[in-house]
């Protein structure tokens, strides 16, 4: 299964309990399948990890930001760590709207890496802010701090800002750098069948309900107890279960 967000409202999924704790300046990885709209360029912080679920300080945020078709990984305060933008301002990869796409962000202590559908798209030096791939020198360094919270659809303290409609499945966080071969394996498996769990600090298969059911909690498959539950002020809206990448007819070819 997968989960669809409720749209541009103050309503999120986050872990208010659990043992999640990692240093974003140390080796780490964040992997997820997302289906959404990139072509409008509207900023949407889709999947993120933060200092706490009520504060920022530091972050690894993934989503669409400021330009049509541009997928971005950024830190707290909007500093871009790595993205899919080319040196000319175009795109290094075209990502179609509303098609399940596999994203993997890895950091080895020096380089921020962004993979799309198993392929390394861009690599940025954290210290210099220079892309090894494109030569663009406008990237920001990661901020110091401790990550303890997953936050989906927007960001802590943001209310309805940077929220939107999209679907997601199979989120995994690691306190190590996944190799290129591991990322490709995760993409090729098309769902939670890759068996890659070493140093996994949180993991969500999103399999708790049937299509159309309301999401009340999402189990952390890593065993860390980082259960996701709804959080926010919006009423009359819900996260709901939808068809996921492994059974949908828009799954990328293997």
Q: Which domain holds residue 113?
A: 2-242
Residue 249 covered by a domain: no
Answer yes or no: are the C-beta atoms of 232 and 239 closer than 8 Å. Answer: no
Residue 192 covered by a domain: yes
Task: Specify burial of residue 59 (Cβ count, 10 A radius: 0-12, 13-18, 19+).
Answer: buried
Q: How many domains does the chain have?
A: 1
Residue 210 covered by a domain: yes
Task: Give me the count of residues in the chain.
Answer: 254
Answer yes or no: are the C-beta atoms of 140 and 126 closer than 8 Å. Answer: no
Residue 248 covered by a domain: no
Phi, psi of 61 (to 5 degrees): -110, 140
Residue 39 covered by a domain: yes
Q: Sorting pLDDT into bands at 50, 70 and 90, what band is 247?
A: low
Q: Say which residues have a Cβ less than 8 Å from residue 236's Cβ, sequence separation at least 6.
A: none
Could you report the per-residue pLDDT of 44-77, keeping only the tens digit for each?
999 999 999 999 899 999 999 988 999 999 999 9
Residue 232 covered by a domain: yes
Which CATH number characterizes residue 69's domain? 2.60.120.200
- Other CB atoms within a 10 A radius of the CB of residue 109 amount to 11
Instruction: Indicate yes or no: pTM above 0.85.
Output: yes
Question: Any bridge partners for residue 174, and if so which?
Answer: 29, 200
Phi, psi of 67 (to 5 degrees): -155, 140
What is residue 252's predicted lDDT score, i.e. its pLDDT?
Answer: 45
Residue 55 covered by a domain: yes
On the question of pLDDT at 191 being above 90, the answer is no
């Amino acid at each position: 299964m997968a989960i669809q967000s409720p749209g541009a409202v103050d309503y999120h999924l986050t872990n208010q309990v659990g043992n999640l704790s990692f240093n974003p300046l140390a080796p780490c990885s964040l992997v997820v399948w997302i289906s959404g709209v990139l072509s409008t360029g509207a900023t949407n912080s889709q999947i993120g990890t933060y200092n706490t679920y009520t504060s920022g300080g530091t972050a690894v945020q993934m989503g669409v930001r400021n330009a049509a078709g541009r997928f971005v990984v950024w830190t707290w305060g909007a500093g871009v760590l790595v993205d899919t933008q080319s040196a000319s301002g175009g795109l290094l990869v075209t990502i179609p709207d509303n098609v399940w796409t596999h994203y993997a962000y890895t950091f080895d202590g020096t380089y921020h890496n962004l993979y799309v559908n198993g392929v390394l798209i861009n690599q940025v030096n954290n210290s210099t802010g220079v892309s090894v791939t494109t030569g663009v020198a406008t990237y920001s360094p990661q901020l110091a701090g401790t990550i303890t919270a997953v936050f989906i659809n927007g960001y802590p303290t943001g209310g309805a800002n940077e929220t939107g409609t999209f679907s997601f499945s199979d989120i995994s966080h690691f306190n190590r750098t996944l190799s290129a071969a591991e990322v490709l394996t995760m993409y090729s498996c098309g769902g939670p069948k890759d068996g890659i769990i070493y140093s996994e600090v949180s993991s969500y298969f999103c399999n708790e309900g049937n299509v159309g059911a309301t999401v009340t909690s999402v189990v952390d498959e890593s065993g860390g107890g980082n259960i996701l539950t709804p959080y926010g002020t919006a009423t009359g809206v819900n996260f709901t279960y939808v068809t996921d990448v492994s059974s949908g007819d828009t799954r990328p070819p293997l």
